[in-house]
Each structure stands twice: as structure tokens, then as C-alpha cells.
Chains A and B, each alone.
Chain A
């Protein structure tokens, strides 16, 4: 089997989440491939636009809902810009899934705190719905920091959970940076779950059982340090802090060397040793975050 070969996947649906991000719902053309494609929250795939190039994208759908996969793609450069010009019915290449993903089984029965900033919502959405659908977790907190109302990814889902989440064991908290009528409307409606500020502000007043909680973080590089501080301040063990990271990568399978991090004492490949790491690993691997 050639690991660099990609499988035809058809775009079933395209949703514009924000002006920058689109959600692509895909299904493998080959039914065998559909059956064989098993993934975990936190894993990613390599999208192949044949003749143009490849790029890694996190799976943002949940394996609990079968028959399709979803990718949330932000338009940042040449490939992603092209991806945004595709139409429903177009076929692209997909290979994967790659990476370790979050240890969902291990966390069963515990409380989950999902901390997400910006596009970090993409991989965490997979966790979120996996956890809700499976019902195997005690409670789920989603702390989501967004720039503005327009930037909220999966806005309908977030608002739905703000309204009805508690009933299904999921508390959503939202922090926004740029004030707008929509935000103020949200804040009024869902106070104190919605506030102006950054994601760390959402920790205010939060207590949790450090013996029975896991934190899962994904966001822009600058966010990790501050979030981890909040968690450590509350004495959450570094082993219970999971974060998913991003590096440039070409192969996704530990060959191309781009995602190597660490120093002489520890070399890790984000693609195959991660992208999910515990904070212990960050402590022993310089440069991880």
C-alpha cells in the first residue's frame, strides 16, 4: 500500500461558517473506503488537491455520526484559498486519518473541560459531539474564546448548546473580544455564560474536581501558556491536560521532518507522536508549545 496515495472524496455539502471558514462535508466515493475510515476525535487528514498540493486539516466531525466526515477550513494561503472555490459535488483526495487523537476511552466517566480559541474549535468540536453523543462523560464544559460574533465557528450549534446544553450535560461559555449588538444580545440572554474578554476569563469562578477532570486545549500558539496557568493554578495535574498542536507538515506520517520538535533530549513528531500531547510531554519537550 502506498501511503501517499489518496482516496476520492466527494463534497456533499459546503457551509460558510464565517467569511473565512467553510465547513466541508465529505464522503468517500468508494464504499469500502467509507467503511474502513475509522477515526478518533483529535485526528487529522491530509487533503489532496491533485496537481496543486496537500495540506493537513483536523477532522471536526464525530465518529459517532457515520457516513460522512467534516472539515472546517480557514482560508489562509494558496491551497486553502483554492479549497474555498470548490463546489458541492467536486471530488478531492483524502488520506488519513493520522495522529494519535484524544484518549477518549481513558477519559470516560470524567468531566471534560474543552478550551478553545478561534480555529481551535475545529478539532474540539469532534470531541464535543463525541462526548455528548456517547454519554459516557460526567459533564462537559466548553470554554470558547472568539474574536467577534461573526467569528464564532458553528454558531448555531454553540447557541443551541448555550440554550439547551445543560440538559444534556454540556455547559458552554463564550468570551468575545470585539463588542457588537449581537454579542451584547447574547451576553444579555446567557449571562454569565457569555462575557466580554478572552478565554482565560471564562475560568473565573470555575472549580472542578482535579481527580476527575481532564482539560483539552486547542487554539492559537499564544493561548496555551495562559490557559495552562489557569489549570495549574487550580492544581490540575499536567497529565490531565491535553492539547493539540499544529506544525507545518507535508507527509503526515513521520517522514518529511517538518513537524519535528524538541531538543537533543527529546525529539517528537507532531504528526505521529501527536498532535495531542499532555502537558508533561510539553514540559519534557522544549519548543512543543
Chain B
């Protein structure tokens, strides 16, 4: 038995490794290991007052901190039966869209694009494809701007609160968001073309899971049309070789992320994004995980269109800037949010004093851990022996990168 170890993936967020176990000249098993130290967020929030919890949860991951804040806030609000007005929900959506832009742009332009064009990193790629890198950076910067406006800071802002916000955006800020969304749209369209002829690789996802609404939800949906709460059909198990847990949907390997979202929720896409989706529908329905990148590019278009739409609606209606009072009571609630890399679940029980008595957080990279491992296995099996070791390892790394994996959030789970 030989083991090939891929030490620390590069150009992914967080620290991950893989062991490829070879027996009798054949790939027998692949172990995807998350070697980043555990951070114990569930324990951290135990006993903490609900109001401070979203700020703590944001620290799970910097790339998608706002998804964590919003998921946390949704879970808490559901526990208290708080209904927030449309204005607040729209602003949260706007924030999540900003996060899509920031995260997808980072992933597509800086991490995946070098694979597409055959460069070791974006800086070296910039010499030939400078325009593209610049376009990506401007989308990313804009996404960050939205995160700053809505979330309070580019990273780990604490503006998103149960019941509303600390500070509401100004007219000028909303106008700027509307204008920039419009202006950046042509860059996003170009991205769709760039990622449209990606090779198929990785596993073929049999099951897709997403939230029932495009950016968040109160239930999960799956490709078998099941509408459910995560604990009904998703089972988590711990692994002896990784700090991350692995999940199965009804006992099967499944996928969350951009591909499942566009496949399951295409009717909710904005006009141009929908058209682009239809153009590539056939391809996308092949279900290879590598297609996730194409879906992400389509989502860039979606996010810009949607952000513009939301900003306009808010500008037309005007902001009332009022928070809903939160009444502390004993309760339980789950927040489902579509983080850029897929479904994110925050589940809390809160006691009568408003302190957290139970918390469970399931992150997209954890949900995707199994299919990531499977993809590595299939890719390894296909290529072992036919490729030299360097190209072999490179191919496997590319496979992992297709997921837009984020290791920090997987602990419970893979870094740049």
C-alpha cells in the first residue's frame, strides 16, 4: 500500500490535505483531511446572551462572515418568533448579495481563473489577462463595499442584529450600490463566457440541496422535491482523520453551492441571469462538480441585477430605519442561509433569560465534504498512472478548488 499525500492545498481558504491510498496499483480510498485546528464555536456561544451571538458567529469565517451573522440572526429571530419587516429582510439580502460578489469574485478570478489559463497564481496571470483580473477585483471591491454598508465593516462588522440593524444605509450609499451594480454587469457577463467551456471533472452530483428561497429560507429543498428541516434527512458523522464532520442526505452523498442553487431555483433568477442559465442549462444539468464555477459566474450576474433591484425598491419606498423590538422568551430556531459556497445552518435553543442553551452550526464545506472526497477519489482513479505525479496532484487540487471550499468554516471544516 502506498499513500500519496497532497500537503496543504494552495489557493483555497484554510488548511486542508488529502491522502490518496493506493493498493495493488489502484486507487483504493481518498481521505480529505482538514488539518486546521478546531475552534469550537458551538461551545463558545453556549451560555452567551443572544444579542452578542451573531457577532461571535461572524468570526467563523471572514469570507462569508455576513452569511454567518444573518443565519445566526434568523435562527434567533425564529426562536423568539420575531417577524421583521420587508425592508430589513431586503437589506439583509443586499448584504448577502454583496458577500456573493465578494466571495465569488475572489474565488473565480483569483483562485480558479489561473487554473483555466494555466498560471500558478493571479499575479502571474495578470501579465496576460490583466483586464480580467482587474474586472474581478472591481467586482470584489464592490461586494466588500456592500458588506461594509450593510454589515458595518468589510470583515466582521457587527451591524446585523436580531430585529434589524445598528445603522441603516443612507440614500447616497443605496444610490451608489444601484449605480455600481449596473456598471459592473458587463464584467460579470464576460465571466460567464470565460467559465462556460470548463472541462468536466470531479464527481457527478446525484443530489442537490438548497434553501427554499434563493438567498435564505425557512426550510431546505432537495432535487427529489423534498422540503425538510436539516435534522430530518441530513446526518452528520465525525471522521477519525479530520477536524471536519461529514454529512449525507438520506444516506447519500449530495452537494450544496452555486450549482445546486441555479439548478433547483432557476425560476427565482433575475432576467439576464435566467437567460444565461437557460443558455447553459444542458451543460449544467450534467451535474459535474466542476460546473459549480459556471454556476457561480451566473450568480455574479444574478447578484448584480438583484442588488440593483433591491436598492431601487428601497430608494423608491424610502427607509423607515426602525428595528423590531425583540422579546426574550424560551424557544428554538433554525436559520438557513445560502452562503456563497452553499447551505449554512445555524440552529439554536435559547432559554428564558435569552442565553443560548444549545447551538449547532453546519457549514457548506462540511456538507460538501463527502462529495469533495468522492470527487477526489474519482479524479484520482481516472488519472492515476496516466499522469505524472505533479500533474496528477495539480488535477486533484483543481478538483477541490471547484467547490470554492473554505476550510475555516469547515471546522466543523479547505485556504487561499
A and B directly contacting (CB within 8 A): no
Which of B's residues lie within 8 Å of A, judged by CB? none
Which of A's residues lie within 8 Å of B, judged by CB? none
